[in-house]
Chains A and B, each alone.
Chain A
Amino acid sequence: MKKWSELKDSSFFDASARERAVGLVDKGTFTEFLHPLDRYCSPHLVVLGQAVEFDDGMVCGVGLLGRHPAFIISMEGRFIGGAIGEVNGAKMVGAIRLALTAAKEIKAKYPGEYEAKRPLVVISFETGGVRLHESNAGLLAHAEVMDAFQDCRHIVPVVSVVGSKVGCFGGMGFVAAAADVIVMNEQGRIGLTGPEVIEQEMGKEEFDASNKALVYRTTGAKHKYIIQDCNYLVEDTIGDFHKVLGEIAGKSMEEIEKMRRIGSIDLVREQQELVKLVGDMQPKDSMDVWKHFGNENPAALPELSTAEFLKTVKRRARS
């Protein structure tokens, strides 16, 4: 595996789950939980004769962002599409709960310093959701994650990081949305229903899943940034992600709360306005929505570099 200093300038998109986990926190600070030597494979895959992985496709651990303990959950898309089963689902829930444990200990031991040492949860998503080979256990794990997220509210920030090959779909699509903050690179995609299923439901004329540009316009980071579902759009290096996470770790809980898109009645009202807009407009393409939000030449946006895009883009005004 690459050294931290090499990871800094490496592509986030191409990085393995472990490289991302190590590189997202400060140099030399990452400690992995249930690392490969623990050999905690999925017992259910063994029964089905399916290949296993020592970390069950998820790298969890703790590192530091400045003085903030950062609990990292990093999914490996190359292992069964990063899908969630019993073991890796439990790892995810376990890591979030450890962040809450750490928060409690810091409050008890360093009562005046909570803000300065406040832990955070960082999840690097690369998954299609539930692992079908152990689908029931995977489904139940998703519910536990949402429950743990709610426990973190106003105490421990939860940050979704999305920018890997598989994207973030299925149940994990709403898990990512339920975090406080979302950071993406241009290649990142978040959705609930994958493109193939939409095509199957609506027909190829309405939605052609093989049209990569269309898929990106619908679920990709630029669209998410315009509609305010993505808080930070960054360049595709692990170093850029690391830098932004450091900034987020230092923000007040009040500022963190303002970055949310769901999680209160006021936010529901705000989202209902967006739904009303989409219902009234019946857009053929996300570009119709981009135009509505003030982007005169929406077709040009996908072509722009991240830096150019950030300079010119108009976003949905938040109420």
Chain B
Amino acid sequence: MDDFENENTMIGRGREAVEQIVDPGSFKENVINDYNFEADCAPGSVVGTAVLDGKPVTIIASDAEAFNDRFPVVFGGVIGLEEGYKMATAVYKTIEADKDKPLAEKRAIILIVDTPGNGPGKLEEIAGMNKATGSYQLALAEARKTGHPIVACVIGRAISGAFLCHGLQADHIVALSQEFGTMIHVMPLTSISRITKLNIEILEELAKENPVFAAGVGFFYKLGGVQEIIEKIEDMRSVIIKHVNEVARLKAEGKGELLGPWGRGILGNERGGRVDRVKVMDKMKEEFAAVAGKYIGA
């Protein structure tokens, strides 16, 4: 990358992003409360504790410069088997650290998102990569429901399954604007065109109106997948702090349903990007209510 690009993108710079976001010099890698991680395991993941706006937070990020020698498909920010389980452990250790604390003191978890995918290899399938990513997601869902505010900040690549794994279980998701090369998608339009055999020009034209398939931060915003778009790199810190506080407030008010994947569904409906989802679920509810007695009273 040349200097111009370096200034305009955060892709591959997860560690730098951590330093820019947390209170200066506060990040301690591989430590969560009294638990110490083995430093040489899961090199593609970065976990630890920092101070954000005076309060302890758990940080989970990817290291795009690391190579995992034992699992060679893991590099460039890929979340592999070891990485997924290390990230999950970081979440469980966070829950454990604050388990006796009141809701207001449950520390936040900050996910710095820049990952192109999950480990796509043979070893991964033999051991079950699906479990590593699934495990991390369940841990995040548990932490969220336990009361920890979780904010994900997409600084670079948030691609498909890796975004599901590292990001989409957060309470709120914020993202640097498209201008910084931020990528949120399942597949680029060119690949969608190739696989679905749909004409790329027509797809591009339709994408202007319909956010459900095209790549981009703005489309995810419309679908409720992104809460807020960050316009300047130096604003990352303040926006994340704002969202941590807002999430904590909603949790204190017992409004957890407005957060996480379900809350993003509500937002997607409000923003007009995903309006069928609600209709489907309402209709099902109605249909079940009509027969519920027969099943519940069985």
Contact = CB atoms under 8 A, between A and B. Distances in A.
Q: Do chains A and B touch in the complex (CB under 8 A)?
A: yes
Interface of A: 31, 33-34, 38, 40, 42-44, 47-50, 60, 62, 64, 67-69, 85-87, 89-91, 93-95, 97-98, 101-102, 105-106, 109-110, 117, 129-130, 132-144, 146-147, 149-151, 153, 170-171, 173-178, 190-193, 197-198, 201-202, 206-207, 218-219, 223, 227, 229, 261-265, 267-268, 271-272, 274-275, 277-279, 282-283, 286, 289
A104 to B, nearest CB: 10
Contacts, number: 279
B160 interface: yes
Interface stretch (B15-23, B59-67, B232-240, B257-265): B257-265
A93 B281 contact: yes
A136 B71 contact: no
Contacts of A207: 122
15 contacts: A31-B291, A31-B294, A31-B295, A90-B281, A93-B281, A94-B280, A102-B288, A135-B192, A147-B260, A177-B130, A198-B122, A198-B125, A201-B73, A262-B135, A274-B128
Given A140-B264, A265-B96, A98 B288 contact: yes
A31 B145 CA distance: 32
B130 A191 contact: yes
Given A69-B296, A177-B134, A265-B92, A192 B281 contact: no
Interface in B114-134: 118-134
B85 A102 contact: no
Scoring A48, A50, A138, A286 by chain B CB atoms within 10 A of each residue's CB, the highest score goes to: A48
A38 to B, nearest CB: 7
Interface residues of B, number: 85
Contact of A178 (B124, B138, B287): B138
A271 B131 contact: yes
Q: Is the interface of B mostly helix, strand, loop or mixed?
A: helix
Given A193-B124, A279-B70, A143 B296 contact: no
Contact of A206 (B122, B161, B186, B224): B122
Contact of A140 (B129, B198, B206, B223): B223
